[in-house]
Chain A
Amino acid sequence: DVKVTQSSRYLVKRTGEKVFLECVQDMDHENMFWYRQDPGLGLRLIYFSYDVKMKEKGDIPEGYSVSREKKERFSLILESASTNQTSMYLCASSFLQGVLGPPLHFGNGTRLTVT
């Protein structure tokens, strides 16, 4: 069974701190994604990566960066955390398969609170 592991379930940080959210998948998936989930706004894509050292901006990349140095690991970085980045962050992965893409496998999420 595919496992996507996010390093922290809950995180509390102060405004201005640099924050690292880590995600590891164990199924050799090419694609990895970072979403944020907010009530009433659904899931919004922050960044995704389809290969090591490759990344593409999603719909809301401002204030975030990512790093993918190894295939299994995808890190989300909040350069200077702000209170509007308080949210649930979801990591997901999938195979690169076909034209339309296979289902995503999600981690349990990291609930980040910025005070």
Chain B
Amino acid sequence: AQSVSQHNHHVILSEAASLELGCNYSYGGTVNLFWYVQYPGQHLQLLLKYFSGDPLVKGIKGFEAEFIKSKFSFNLRKPSVQWSDTAEYFCAVNTPINAGNNRKLIWGLGTSLAVNP
């Protein structure tokens, strides 16, 4: 079965530390890849997405992610985190089974990031 694995469930960092959150998926064909973020008390929102082209994608708030097809990975990175980055981060993968209606959007279980000031 297709799956998305986020390696770290809880991450604690100090401000200015670098961040890398792992995401691996199991589907072998063409995919769309997403990172969503949920700040405390707020709705889930899109952080960045990869559809095609340059495998290094830039998102909001200084985040970036690199799609490495050979490793089935889409890791999220930020060079220097801030206290305001404290949130839950979800990786999601969409496969073509659903023909455009997101039916098979597969979610990771999320990574809770706490940044200490």
CB neighbours of A102 from chain B (8 A)? 102
Q: A42-B90, A94-B102, A100-B96 are in contact. Are A106 and B44 (CB under 8 A)?
A: yes
The docked-state distance in angstroms from the alpha carbon of A92 to that of B32 is 18
Contact mask for chain A residues 99-115; partner B; CB cutoff 8 A; 1 contact, 0 none: 11111111111000000
| A99 and B34 within 8 A (CB) | no
A90 within 8 A of B: yes
A42: nearest chain-B partner, CB-CB: B109
| Contact-residue bracket for chain A | 20 to 34
How far does the alpha carbon of A104 sit from the alpha carbon of B98 in the complex, in Å? 15
A48 neighbours in B (Cβ, 8 Å)? 101-103
Identify whether the interface residues of B are mostly helix, strand, loop, or mixed: loop
Could you mark each residue 8-51 of chain B with 1 if its beta carbon is under 8 Å from any beta carbon of chain A, else 0?
01000000000000000000001110101000001111100101
Band of interface residues on B: 20 to 34
The answer, among A31, A41, A107, for a CB contact under 8 Å with B102, is: A31
Q: Smallest distance from the beta carbon of B14 to chain A beta carbons, Å?
A: 25
Partner pick for A100 among B90, B100, B109, CB 8 A cutoff: B100
Which residues of chain A (20-42) have a CB below 8 Å from chain B? 30-31, 33, 40-42
Q: A residues touching B (Cβ–Cβ < 8 Å)?
A: 4, 30-31, 33, 40-43, 45, 48, 50, 56, 90, 92, 94, 96-109
The 8 closest A-B pairs by CB, nearest first: A42-B109, A101-B102, A106-B44, A100-B32, A103-B46, A108-B43, A106-B43, A43-B107
